[in-house]
Chain A
Amino acid sequence: MLRVRWLALLSCLFAVFALTVSACGDDDDGGGGGGGGGGSTLDVYSSLPLQGASRPQTTAMVEGIKLAVEQAGGKAGDYKIKYTSLDDSTAQAGTWTPEAASANARKVAQDDAAIAYIGEFNSGASAISIPILNEVPIAQISPANTAVGLTSDEPGADEGEPEKYYPTGNRHYLRIVPKDTIQGAALASLMKSEGCGNAYILNDKEVYGAGLATNIENSAKEIGLKVLANEGIDPKAPNFRSQAAAMKSAGTDCFVFSGITANGAVQLYKDVHAALPDINLYGPDGVAESGFSDPKEGGIPADVQAKTKVTVATLSPDEYPPEGKKFFTEFEKKYNEPNPDPYAIYGYEAMKLVLDTCKKLGSDCSDKQAMIDALFQTKGRKSVLGTYDIDENGDTTLTDYGVYTIKDGELTFDKTIQAQAGG
């Protein structure tokens, strides 16, 4: 008798479970329309490395994103916007990891209410998430990626790029920072303008570092700057003294590391400066972070800072258009930070672009493909970064790069370079 009762109870439980599942299924189907959630809330995610050397930059980006959502009242048109910040790094690695980046992309790919994915910060991480999100597809906007191969097959791209990232053959990924053909040209022209005749390039062999190194080399050759070498390093090597000694023997006038801080940058700059104390040292946006610049956070010491310059696709707050200047005022008001990290404005603009596009689409905003199409039709957008278009590859038409010196551990704006992409 008791067994019969248990069986009846279990049957009821199964019945309730089955009904719940089928009800959920109905709800999903009802969303229709290109995968829209069917409700009035749409999801926007960011995936950035919130641990390790990039934390100050990515924290500033998240603050910028939240500011944009708050200014819009948490809404875009008729839809409520729910923002979720994801982390593509681990404490163990101290930087992004392929596992975390792919887990984030898969999570978002399974969310029917997701309309945009802001990320990644590192180009290598985007190389992982782009193909996953392309299959859905969901609009992906990177506020920081510069590797050429993510969007085009121009010099600096590897064989098979960018097609290998887009299995469906359609594009869904765009970025609001100039790509590395521009940064490579900016670094090469900066080195030459400061009297360098023989440049030595080392790279960290990642998607971003190796690609940018090629761009620097190509641009240098075009403007008559001799490149003595462009070599990869072992990022986990305990030191780079012998490579620094090799640079010295080769007659190096200036040095540039194409890579990210987490890949041995601090030790590398210290060793190169020790071997060649008089030469200028240059770095890309991959090292434009306090983990590299500030000795209090484990960065380079003052004597190395004095010889180091870094390029970042950001300008001085004074050089931004009125919208940009307004952003800095609002940011200071909200976070009580008069000198925000250069990347805060990119986080803000990425989210603002999503919100503005969604508002423009009206009820179609829940349609993932409509969102992608609208983003790719961005033309003459008057933004906090200046006026820009998004081209058919998903690249911005902005080309300004800022040169930063390092003073007392802080990146300090020096000047703007308007570089033309090298071949």
Chain B
Amino acid sequence: MEASTEAARLPVKRNTWDRVRGYIGEYGLIALLLALPVVYGIQDISQDGSLARLGNNIVDGLSNGSIWALVALGYTLVYGIIELINFAHGEVFMIGSLVSAGLFSTLGLTASTGIGGLILGLLLTLVLAMLASGSLNTMIERVAYRPLRNAPKLAPLITAIGFSFILQNVGILWIGGSPEGIPDLIDAQKELFNIGGVSISRGDVLAIAATIPLVLLLTTFISQSRLGRAMRATAQDPEAARLMGINVDTTISLTFLIGGIMAGAAGLIYALYQTTIWFLQGFQAGLIAFTAAVMGGIGNLQGAVLGGLIIGIIQQISDNRIGGEWTPAIVFAYLVMIMVFRPSGLLGEETREAG
């Protein structure tokens, strides 16, 4: 008798929990995401009488987050199409930075280079860094993932980790094991303008201004071009896409090429913005960018960008208000909470499994 009463109660408990979870997932997440800015915004107004400090945190967060967003796009593109976490992607981004820094000295770009020469030099560096990272990513796919297309999912995951370590060691051989300062070509932290106490630096403008067109170009390419449609078709059902005459292997290679190109661009922006490069920067950035992709909804391009920007802002608010030593814990606490209440991420997954 007791057992049957218990059994009758259980579904009610689950429904209540589901309802609570759904409610929190819908509205609680918005409250959670706004908690830090709102709390510190109120504190700023009561203490300083303005929101300038919070504004500075958000601007810094958006510029940092833009770089994470570009890297996150590579993770989400690849996961969306072959459901593989390309662990080597962070290192492809690191190689983009190293190529960029190498080109600075090869092209003779210094802080005293004239504006014309600097723009031309940086554009050339951008193209070459994108090509280097794009072709590297494509090569990794050809060598380490394509032969394992029909292997158990664990196999390409291991080769991805393997390539990640190989590239880290390439980084060590290239620049050594310590963080290396490079010339501050654009005087990245120089204030360009100030809006109501919110300082916008050259680095902020560079990161945001370079990211927006790249993201728009990418989303337009994927939604409107023939190759982009092929990518989406392959992502939804590779077999059906093959039957419809799409060359699936070429499409997957193209996806890696585009992801690598974005990582190369992010590598150059990172080098200009931080003015320090390191062989481990890819591991750190990769971890953050992958978190951004999952937070936004893996496979979802807009989600990756949103996740990158949100993480950037959380990092800066935490660094500025709570203390840098707590920042990684706070970022991942956010990820855990978002995953618990919305397992498919903020904007929802776009993968074969998710439909």
Task: Indicate if B56 sits at the interface (CB-CB under 8 A).
Answer: yes
**B285 engages A242 (CB within 8 Å):** no
Q: Contact mask A85-126 → B, CB, 8 Å, 1/0?
A: 000011111110000000000000000000000000000000
B56, B176, B179, B181: which contacts A301 (Cβ < 8 A)?
B181
For B281, what are the chain A residues with a Cβ–Cβ distance below 8 Å?
238
List which A229-281 residues lie within 8 A (CB) of chain B: 231-234, 236-243, 245-246, 249, 261-262, 264, 266-267, 270-271, 274-275
Q: Within the complex, which residue of A274, A291, A299 is in contact with B189, where a contact is CB–CB below 8 Å?
A: A274
Which of B60, B172, B184, B328 has a CB less than 8 Å from the CB of A242?
B60
- The answer to whether B172 touches A92 (Cβ under 8 A) is yes
The answer to whether B178 touches A239, judged by C-beta atoms less than 8 angstroms apart, is: no
Determine if B53 is an interface residue (Cβ-Cβ < 8 Å).
Answer: yes
**Nearest Cβ in chain A — how far from B207, in angstroms?**
12
With contacts A94-B176, A270-B276, A299-B181 taken as known, whether A242 is within 8 angstroms of B325 at the C-beta atoms is no
B285 / chain A contacts, CB cutoff of 8 Å: 238
Is A53's beta carbon under 8 Å from chain B? yes
Instruction: Check A51 for interface membership: any CB of B closer than 8 A.
Output: yes
Inter-chain contact B325/A233, CB cutoff 8 Å: yes
Q: Which of A91, A238, A239, A298 contacts B172 (CB 8 A)?
A: A91
Kindly state the separation between the CA atoms of A403 and B305 in the bound complex, as whole angstroms. Answer: 48
Flag if B325 contacts A238 (CB, 8 Å): no
How many interface residues does chain A have, given as a range?
35 or more
CB distance from B328 to the nearest CB of A (A): 6
Query: How many residues from B make CB contacts under 8 Å with A?
Result: 40
Q: What residues on A are CB-neighbors of B324 within 8 Å?
A: 231-234, 237, 240, 242-243
Within 8 A of A (CB), among B162-207: 168-169, 172, 175-184, 189
Question: Contact at B180–A298, with CB atoms within 8 Å?
Answer: yes
| Residues of chain A within 8 A of B319, CB atoms compared | 237, 240-243, 246
- CB within 8 Å of A: which of B310-337? 315-317, 319-321, 323-325, 327-328
Interface string of B279-297 (1 = CB under 8 A from A): 1110011000000000000
CB-based nearest A residue for B63: A241
**Contact flags (1/0) for A323-343 with B, using CB distance below 8 Å?**
000000000000000000000
Inter-chain contacts of A299 with B (CB < 8 A): 181
B219 is an interface residue with CB less than 8 A from chain A: no
A67 at the interface (CB under 8 A from B): no
Q: If A92-B172, A242-B57 touch, does A234 touch B177 (CB 8 Å cutoff)?
A: no
Contacts of A300 in B (CB 8 A): 181
**Contacts A267-B274, A270-B276, A298-B180; is A92 near B169 (CB within 8 Å)?**
yes
**Min distance, Cβ B141 to any Cβ of chain A, angstroms:** 25
How far is A233 from B320 in the complex, measured between Cα atoms in Å?
11
**B284 CB contacts on chain A under 8 angstroms:** 236, 238
C-alpha gap A52/B278 in the complex (Å)? 12
Which of A236, A238, A242 makes the CB contact (< 8 A) with B320?
A242
Cross-chain pairs A/B with CB under 8 angstroms, 7 sampled: A52-B177, A91-B172, A94-B178, A234-B327, A238-B274, A245-B57, A262-B179
Interface residues of A (CB under 8 A from B): 51-53, 89-95, 205, 231-234, 236-243, 245-246, 249, 261-262, 264, 266-267, 270-271, 274-275, 291, 295, 297-301
Identify the B interface with A (CB < 8 A): 53, 56-57, 60, 64, 168-169, 172, 175-184, 189, 270, 273-276, 279-281, 284-285, 315-317, 319-321, 323-325, 327-328
